[in-house]
Amino acid sequence: MASSKGKTIAIVGSGLIGRSWAMVFLSGGYKVKVYDNQPGQASRAITDIRKQVEELQEAQMLRGKLSATEQLSLLSSHEDLSQALEGAFFVQECVFEELEAKKSVFQAVEKLVGEEVVLSSSTSCLMPSNVFSLVQNRTRCIISHPVNPPYYVRLVELVPHPETLPVVMDMAYELMTEVGQAPVRIRKEIDGFALNRVQYAIIAECWRLVKDGVISVKDIDLVMSEGLGMRYAFIGPIETMHLNAPEGLEDYLRRYREGMKRVLSSFGPVPEFDGEAAARINKEICELIPNDQEHLSARRERRDQLLMGLAKLKK
């Protein structure tokens, strides 16, 4: 990619994800302009980002080649959308996960930017053909779906609209790589993209096993955190198959194909995730981690510390 330094990225929506994206792009040396439609919200976001960036520098966890001061000098907040978009070559939308809100944001943004500006959405599970349905030129539209928090969890799912030009996909891929994320290309739109399809498959089977009294909440979470999750932080399921038989994937299939099919065919229907089962599972998890802010915040903080450590280890 041609030198991107000095270029501007606009963030529309300055909540949890908007702030984290801003930090990611700052770490790559981009000028970042943050906009939010709630008065005062963008400037509160800036205050929070400043604090986080300074703390990260102190903890020697700051990403990128620039110091905290250098990164923060590239950051600004805006109460006016057109001002925030001025000069931007890439717009990352991070507003509420509501289709109508996103559709009207992109309609408004398109009226204020040139044809060449890439319009990117952070949506977790809305389809590109819906999100961009009010945009006239959809060839420059893309979903860049991060994982929370994108500063520590590097994966970004890039999902094209059916009309998105390959060059836009390539440009987003290069941008994400340049700022230190780990982009993947979803070749065509599909509900849940890849991450949530896999995540929901795991959640569904864990839920069924607990619901049917096969295992406790504590133990099914250990199956992931002390078992599968340990290696999945480094190698994916296909590589795992390849490594788990002496002669690789084909050998694995020879040995385990029938067993996999037998187990998979015993899976139950999609759970309802409500009623007595939900109440029981909730009770069990709350006995382990009470659902008050103090306990939940402490666990989140611990999670983020471990993610930070893991991110450092994987560098």
Q: Give the binding site for ligand NAD (CB under 6 A).
A: 12-18, 36-38, 41, 94-97, 101, 105, 122-124, 145-146, 148
Residue nearest to ligand NAD (CB): 15
**Closest listed residue to residue 10, CA positions, set 76, 67, 66:** 76
Considering the complex, what minimum distance in angstroms separates the CB of residue 41 from ligand NAD?
5
Length of the chain: 315
Q: Which is nearer to ligand NAD, 99 or 209 (CB)?
A: 99
Q: Which is nearer to ligand NAD, 10 or 210 (CB)?
A: 10
Considering the complex, what minimum distance in angstroms separates the CB of residue 266 from ligand NAD?
32
Considering the complex, what minimum distance in angstroms separates the CB of residue 188 from ligand NAD?
20
Considering the complex, what minimum distance in angstroms separates the CB of residue 153 from ligand NAD?
9
Considering the complex, what minimum distance in angstroms separates the CB of residue 137 from ligand NAD?
20
Q: Which is nearer to ligand NAD, 16 or 215 (CB)?
A: 16
Q: Which is nearer to ligand NAD, 97 or 258 (CB)?
A: 97
Q: Which is nearer to ligand NAD, 109 or 210 (CB)?
A: 109
